[in-house]
Amino acid sequence: MTMPATITPSIIETLYEDALLLADEARASFDLDDSFRSGGEDASVARVAMSCEALRTTTRMMHAIAWLLNQKAYFAGEISEFQLRHHGRLPPPQPQPAQEELALLPPYIADLVDRSVQFYARIERLDRAWRKRFELQPAAVHRLRERLGYAFAR
C-alpha cells in the first residue's frame, strides 16, 4: 500500500499563491461584472444567481486560504501540530452550484466558479490525507482491546 504524499512547505506555498490569484480573480470578476444592470425578471434572477455564486466562491476561497495560512504557520513553527489539528480544520465545502443557476451567468464567471470548486476539492483531499495519519486503524484498536482483555483476565 502506498502512503499519501507528505504535505511540504513548497506545496503549501504554491497552493497559497494559486489561492491568492484565484481569489483576486474572483473579486475582480464579481466586482466588475455589470451585465445584469438592465431591468426585467430574467435580469433579477440572474443578479440573484450572480450574488449567490459570488458569496459561495469568495467564502470557498477564504476558507481555503485560511487553511493554507494555518499550514504555513505550522511549517514556520508558529503553531504546534496539536494546534493545527484542533484549530486548523477545513470547513465543509459550500453547496455545489446549481447547473441552472450557472447557466444564467456569463461563461467566464461559470468557469471561475468551477475552478474554485476544483481548487477547494484539492485542498480537501490534502486535508483528508493529512488527518488520516491521526486516525486509529481498526487493527490497532482490536490489538489494544485484546491486550486489555488479557491484562484484566489475569
Q: Is the pTM of this model over 0.85?
A: no
Fold observed for domain 9-153: Helicase, Ruva Protein; domain 3 (1.10.8)
Write out pLDDT tens, residues 138-149: 666 777 778 878
Write out pLDDT tens, residues 56-99: 999 999 999 999 999 999 999 999 988 998 888 898 877 788 88
Write out pLDDT tens, residues 14-59: 999 999 999 999 999 888 656 655 556 677 888 888 888 999 999 9
Q: At what angle do helices 9-32 and 41-75 cross, to 10 degrees?
A: 160
Contact, 23 vs 66, CB < 8 A? no
Of the CA atoms within 13 Å of residue 93, those in its CB half-sphere come to 16
Cα separation, 72 vs 10, whole angstroms: 10
